[in-house]
Amino acid sequence: MVTFSHSDNGTPEKVWEAAHWPDRFSSLGLDALERLVVVSAHPDDESLGVGGLITHVAGLGLPIVVIVLSNGEASHPQSTTHDPARLAQIRRLEVTDALAHLAPDAEIHLLELPDGKLAEHVDLAAGAIAEAIGDAGDTTWVVAPWRADRHPDHAAASAAAERAARERRARLFEYPIWAWHWSTPEDVVWSGESVRLFDLLPAERKAKARALALHRSQVGSLSDSPGDEAIVPAEFRAHFARDYETLLDMTVRAAPDPVPPAPRARRSSTSEASVRADPNETLTAGYFDAVYASGPDPWGFESRWYEKRKRAALIAALPRQRFSAALELGCSTGVLTAELADRCDTLLCIDLVERPLVLARERLAGRSGVTFERRTVPGEWPDGSFDLIVLSEVGYYCSVADLRRLLERCRASLAPNGALVACHWRHPVAEYPITGDAVHTQLTHVVGLQRTVHHLERDFVLEVYEPRPAQSVAQRDGLVP
């Protein structure tokens, strides 16, 4: 049970500053680190506790896996404007956006365990963490919420991380969050702990602050209604604007050295140059304007047998005969659109540039229920839900970060009985940020969806994903139980 409230008058940050916290503990070096696994009980724990560390490790080019145990749907139990389902949807998108900013190449696993009841699911959480650790041993570091943070979900996350780290012989660190609020620098809770501090460069502090700001449902009010107040107000957020982050080494529990440690060697700002910028950038409208300048059918959608056959395979893979509301992402000149329109009551078609949309509107002139819009997704995402979303030959134009956001928005907009159809060219293209295979690998990480169709050829991969538990076409027709 939580014994404190975010609305309580907690310990001001100036008290921690006056205690000269950085002078009391030694710094944390990352020399032995080869893989980082971050465990978060709720969306935003990772940004609050170790957002700077995540950014630094991403800059080193090391693999990062972030496991978010719950959707944080219980953050506003008194809200009259946002029910838990809506909060879960919002917070999933927030943590996806925040992590895309901190570490664009990180893997994210959203387990969707019930917020407030993680203690009932420690086994499942431990299994997911152990799988993320793999067999690398102590070169993999697991960082999780602190067991003494006085939040039952944080304690459960710690228990799961400890079990997995012990099983796979990984190093384990824990990060405080609420302890900054309810404890004081002289509190007995800090005695006997192996406290380590990780210094943050200015760019890492800036990235962390931006990630925190992206958790809008927590740092700001949901509305002016009672019960919608900010969970992480400015005075609490001040604890996480420091130029260091605090971790507790739980691998070896050692008493604090009674002799004050030597001054910590701070990393020089010149090491900012070693922070690797993400080489993947989403292709912009200018790229496609140049492609379409070469002619009205630059990819041979209308002329090539390969394209005609692939469209036929996609249409045949649709799991239902008819759909009420469909969304086609990257419709281009509308060649596939014309065949999809025969199966849909309404069809919203989106593309990044206007030139192909002009041709698509001409091709489907007079077809009822079909609309075309110029939008930049995932940023300019359409409202509403869809029982069919088609992502054909689009995903590899995105950076890893934008693809992750795109797939999360597809998932959030998919109706309970909907289908997400993805089809992509498998051969590498120098101009594309990622490959078609990479797009479909990322699809496997979208929580709550089940793959019901998998068609793989040397040239393209075609898959259908539906919300769990999904029925087969034969089951829907009553042919099998």
Give the pLDDT of residue 272. Answer: 32
Within 342-456, residue ranges assigned H as helices are 354-363, 400-413, 436-443
Separation between Cα atoms, residue 49 and residue 278, nearest integer Å: 23
Average pLDDT over residues 404-415: 93
Is pLDDT of 291 > 70? yes
* Enclosing H/E stretch for 172: strand 171-175
Give the pLDDT band of residue 182 (cuts 50, 70, 90): very high
Give the pLDDT of residue 3. Answer: 52
pLDDT tens-digit readout, 226-269: 999 999 999 999 999 999 999 999 884 333 333 333 333 333 33
Give the pLDDT of residue 481. Answer: 86
pLDDT tens-digit readout, 293-335: 888 899 999 999 999 999 999 999 999 999 999 999 999 999 9
Which amino acid is located at 132 in the chain?
A
- Which among 391, 372, 310, 408 is positioned nearest to 91, based on CA atoms? 408
Give the pLDDT of residue 193. Answer: 60
Give the pLDDT of residue 139. Answer: 92
Separation between Cα atoms, residue 149 and residue 161, nearest integer Å: 15
Which amino acid is located at 221 in the chain?
S
The helix/strand/coil state of 121 is: helix
Report all structural domains of the chain as residue ranges with CATH numbers, in order of start: 13-274 (3.40.50.10320), 285-476 (3.40.50.150)
Separation between Cα atoms, residue 481 and residue 346, nearest integer Å: 32
Give the pLDDT band of residue 26 (cuts 50, 70, 90): confident
pLDDT tens-digit readout, 431-469: 888 889 889 888 888 878 899 999 999 899 999 999 988
**Could you give the angle at the alpha carbon of 370 between the alpha carbons of 367 and 373, nearest 5°?**
135
Cα 294 to Cα 288, 298, 299, 300, 301: the distances in Å are 10, 7, 10, 12, 14
Please state whether the predicted TM-score (pTM) of the whole model is above 0.75: no
Tokens of 462: 């075609």
